[in-house]
Copies of this chain bind each other. A is one copy, B any other.
Amino acid sequence: MLIVDKYGGTSVADAERIEKVAANAAATSKAGHDLVVVVSAMAGETDRLLQMSRALNAAAPPREVDALLATGEVRTSALLVMALQARKVAARSYNGAQVPVITDKVHGRARIARIETAALRRDIAAGTVPVVAGFQGVDEAGNVTTLGRGGSDTTAVALAAALGAGECRIYTDVDGVYTADPRIVPEARCIPRITMEEMLELASSGARVLQTRSVELVGKYRVPLRVLSSFAPGAGTLITCEEKKMEQPLITGLAYSNNEAKLTIRGVPDRPGVARQILSPIADAHINVDMIIQNVGVDGTTDLTFTVERSDYKIGLEKLREAAVTLAARDVLGDPAIAKISVVGVGMRSHAGIAARMFSALAGEDINIQMISTSEIKISVAIDDRHLEAAMRALHREFQLDHNQPPSS
């Protein structure tokens, strides 16, 4: 089988860890698999480079930031090839231009347009392991581009798709996708198999395992993706684009974010277009709005509440106060200490009552639900962030996430 393995920054943080990666890759290669390896920059390297860049130019030109950052992954790729060759594994490093990974011109968050695989295929056929610098490409004019934070995952999945690989494995510092953050819920379990949709909902709800775009690529290219640890044994979590079988659990996992803030404007005239008038200045200030609820008020007025990232709270409050003056609203309220919890699972499509069980579990802990939003396979609630841990544990118990084994492959 052709496998594309990707190692993140903590997995290649120093010479000793690069040795371990080389040993792992050598074992895969010697087990008879064809192998392509994608690497990130050594942990901390990208941040260090960004700091240098900011020291010289607070508004550094994106083309140059990309040229600078892309060197981090190039270094790792060359170092890993050295370590592989020391183990008598034939290998060759590739930077983005050498593959080449052709992208659009959007520096800092380029999209891959196409990957030319001839050189890689020649190496694979000759028994040489290509080690590709992740996170980067070149545009048609030869300018170095980067794919955005976590872009090495994207490189790996896109390469796996382009090469028709049997599996793309993302090695990281966690040993898979968990039913909940184990730092908060000690009973949390590694999920052996999850659908892409569930993974997307978990990722967009605060579970930080894979870049959302990489998960989308699983669906786009139909490449099975496995997340596993470079430090601990175990098969990790396989992310597939297949539907689950009937015996699937209702809920696959919990995600959370304790980095939310809530803004409310009260007593706005209840007429068409008023939500746009309130939210446009927020959007213009580059503030992302997450959950939104609007209550119908009495005497022809209405209240609008929404959540933003906590770092945007102050500026959001300011913008909302300006809007309140324009709209002659009654008042503006805010709460910067909000957490969001989501339960995710394709099973809830066909099962009513998930919301009721969720709310009753939270009520059982005396936790007040401030906002609710739902999608086909997710229910999110906003609560006071002091209750985050208690809420997570209660929900984990309620949906028996520590017991139910989803069907493994």
Name the residue among A59, A71, A82, A98 with the largest chain B CB count within 10 angstroms: A82
| Interface: A53 (CB within 8 A) | yes
Nearest-Cβ distance from residue A87 to partner chain B, whole angstroms: 9
Number of copies: 2
Q: List 17 A-B contacts (CB under 8 A).
A: A15-B52, A18-B56, A19-B56, A56-B83, A57-B82, A57-B85, A59-B86, A60-B85, A61-B82, A63-B93, A64-B81, A64-B82, A64-B85, A64-B93, A67-B95, A68-B74, A71-B71
| Contact A65 B83, CB 8 Å, known A52-B15, A98-B142 | no
- On whether the beta carbons of A79 and B86 are closer than 8 Å, the reply is no
A321 at the interface (CB under 8 A from B): no
Q: Are A56 and B15 in contact (CB under 8 A)?
A: yes
Kindly state the separation between the CA atoms of A88 and B255 in the bound complex, as whole angstroms: 46
A57 touches B71 (CB 8 A): no
A115 at the interface (CB under 8 A from B): no
A144 partner residues in chain B, CB cutoff 8 A:
95
| Residue A310 interfacial (CB < 8 Å) | no
Of the residues B53, B59, B67, B77, contact of A67 by C-beta under 8 Å: B77
How distant is A32 from chain B, measured CB to nearest CB, in Å?
24
- B residues in contact with A244, CB < 8 Å: none
The 5 closest A-B pairs by CB, nearest first: A71-B71, A68-B78, A57-B82, A57-B86, A67-B78
Taking Cβ atoms with an 8 Å cutoff, the residues of A that contact B are 15, 18-19, 22, 49, 52-53, 55-61, 63-65, 67-68, 71, 74-75, 77-79, 81-83, 85-86, 92-93, 95, 97-98, 142-144
For residue A79, give the distance in angstroms from its CB to the closest CB of chain B: 6
**Shortest distance between the CB of A225 and any CB in chain B (Å):** 28
Across the interface, do A75 and B82 meet the contact criterion of CB distance under 8 Å?
Answer: no
Bound together, the chains give a CA A396 to CA B65 distance in angstroms of 51
Which of B65, B86, B97 interacts with A78 by CB under 8 Å? Answer: B65
Given A67-B95, A97-B142, A98-B142, 5 more A-B residue pairs with CB atoms under 8 Å apart are: A53-B79, A53-B82, A56-B82, A57-B85, A61-B85
Among residues of B, the one whose C-beta sits closest to the C-beta of A87 is B57
